[in-house]
Amino acid sequence: MRMAQAVTAFVLLLACDSFAFDLAGELAKAKQGGVVELPAGIVQGVAQVPSGVTLRGAGYDKTTLEGSIVIKDGTGARIENLTVLSKGTAISVSSADNVVISRVMVIGGTIGIQASRSSGVRVENAVVSQALIGISASSVGGATIVNCTVYSADSCGLSISGSSDSALFNNVVVNAGTGIVVGGENKNLAVDHNLYLALSTGKIEGQLQRPSLPTWRDVSGGLDAHSVQLSVTFANPGQRDFHPVSRLSWNPARLTTANWGAQQLAGHKAPETDMDGQPRVGPCDLGAFESPALAACRPDGQFRIESDEGLKSAGLFRPDNKALYYFFQGLPLRKGKHSFILPARDMFGRPLAPGKYEVRVVESTADWVFSGMVSNSGSNTTPDEADSVHVSRLVFTPEGLLATAPGGASGTSTCAWAIPRAARPNGFLKGPPTTAACAWMARANCCWCATERR
C-alpha cells in the first residue's frame, strides 16, 4: 500500500503547473540556521544555498526542482525532501563543511551529486537515476555516502578519490557501467556492505576494470568484503518508484536488498530511518528504502551459518555427491539459521525426481592474494599497455602450478603458469613448465604449449 501511494503522488505532481516561487529571493534572505521551504509542485531555477541554511521540499514525491543546487563555502547547509531534475550537475558541494543531503532524488544530468574539497559531507537516503555519474566525492575528508540507490549510471555509480576517513556503505548500484571507481590516494577509506549490478564491479584509477566482485576485492585490497552482486528489480523506475521488489530465489520471504547492511562502518553511522521515514531495523537493508513486511512463505527447511566472517555457498546434492542445484555462491550470510525452499528442477532445467537429497553449506575465509595478471600478452597491466585474452581453460597441475589457456581462432594458445606465492616471490612465471607438467596438461586436454595445435 505504501508503494502504491508513492506512485500516485508522483503522477499527480507531474501533472501540476510550475509555481512562480522566488527561489533566488528566498535563499538570499535566509540567515544561518534558517529554513527555506519549497512548496509542493515544480520549482525552477538554480538554488545557491548559503552557509547554515536548510533547503527543504514538501517531500521527494511532492516537490521537484527543475535546475540545480549549488553549495559553495560555508558550513552546515542541508538539502532534504525534494527531487531535482537536471541536465548538468544536479547537486554540487565545493569547499563546504558538514553538508547533509538527505531524502533527495536526482533524475538526469552528468553528475547526480558531487562533493569536492569539503569535509564532513553526508549523503544518505538518496536516489540518483539516469545520471552519467551517480555520486562523486573527491578531495574530501570524513565523507559518508550511505543507504543510497544509484540506477542507470552509464559511466559509474560511485566515485571517490583523494579522500581521508571516509566511508561508502549500504548502497545499491544497478545498471551502471562501473559500480565504483576509486582514484588517487585514500587514507582510511572504508567501502563495504554495498550491492553492485554493473558491467564492471569496480575500477582502480589507472588500472583495468574488474568485472566481478571477487576480482574487485582482490585488487582493491579488501574493499567490499561483505558486499554482494545480486539482481535487483525496482517497483517502477519509469514512474520514479525505486522500492525494491525482487526476492531471493532460494528464500522468497526476503528481498534481494534485505539484511546485507551494517548499522555503522568505521565510525560512520547508518540513518535511523529510510527515504520514506520508515525505521531501519536489524542489520539494515541496502539502498534508500527499507524492505516492507512480506507475506509469510512456508520454507522447506533451514540451514545454519556458524560465523559472520567469510563467504558462504549452498547447494542441493545427491547422497553420491553429485551436485544438482546451487542455491547461492559466495554470499556473506550472517551467523544463524536461514530458511530455504527446494527447487522443482535442477541446474540444467530437468525435473527433480522424488528421492533423498542433501543441502550442503560451505563457509570459507580463504582468499586470493593478487600478484598480477595472467593471460596478458601486453607489456604492463595498465589499460593502455595490457592485452588480456579470454581464458578458456584453467587448471592446477600436480606440481601446484596454475595453468591457464587463452582462447583464440588461430588454433594455438599460450600457457601462463602461476607459481605458488610461497615458492616464487614475484608470484607468476610465463614460459614452459617441466616436461612432466606439460605432458600431464596434454593428457588432461586442458592446456597447450605455445606451438602445439589443438
DSSP code per residue over 30-41: --TT-EEEPPSE
Read off the pLDDT band of 293 (50, 70, 90): confident
Read off the pLDDT band of 8 (50, 70, 90): very low
Model pLDDT, residue 437: 52
- On the question of pLDDT at 440 being above 60, the answer is no
Which range has the worst mean pLDDT, 9-13, 205-209, 279-283? 9-13
Higher pLDDT, 74 or 19: 74
- On the question of pLDDT at 384 being above 70, the answer is no
For every residue of 86-124, DSSP letters joined together read: -SSEEEEEES-BS-EEEEEEEESSSEEEEEEEEES-EEE
- On the question of pLDDT at 444 being above 60, the answer is no
Report the pLDDT averaged over residues 16-45: 88
In the chain, what are the domain boundaries? 2-248, 298-371, 391-444
Report the pLDDT averaged over residues 70-91: 97
Report the pLDDT averaged over residues 417-437: 43
CA 254 to chain centre: 19
pLDDT tens digit sequence for 62-71: 999 999 999 9
What CATH number is given for 298-371 in this structure? 2.60.40.4070
Cell of 401: 602450478
- On the question of pLDDT at 35 being above 60, the answer is yes
Report the pLDDT averaged over residues 4-11: 39
Model pLDDT, residue 330: 93
pLDDT above 70 as % of the chain:
78
- On the question of pLDDT at 343 being above 90, the answer is yes
Give buried/exposed letters for 8-41 (b at 16+ CB in 10 A, else e).
Answer: eebeebeeeeeeebebeebbeebeeeeebebebb
Read off the pLDDT band of 301 (50, 70, 90): very high
Q: What one-character DSSP code corresponds to residue 194?
A: -
Model pLDDT, residue 221: 86
- On the question of pLDDT at 371 being above 70, the answer is no
Average pLDDT, the chain: 85
Report the pLDDT averaged over residues 338-366: 94
pLDDT tens digit sequence for 172-223: 999 999 999 999 999 999 999 999 999 999 999 988 889 999 889 988 988 9
- On the question of pLDDT at 45 being above 70, the answer is yes
Read off the pLDDT band of 379 (50, 70, 90): low
Q: Could you give the CA distance from residue 160 to residue 162 in angstroms, rounded to a whole number?
A: 7
pLDDT above 90 as % of the chain:
71
CATH 3.30.420.280 for domain 2-248: no
Which range has the worst mean pLDDT, 225-229, 245-249, 395-399, 424-428? 424-428
For every residue of 261-320, DSSP letters joined together read: --SEETTEEPPSB-TTSPBP-TT--SSSSPPPPPPP---SEEEEE--SSSEEEEEEE-TT
Read off the pLDDT band of 282 (50, 70, 90): confident
pTM: 0.81
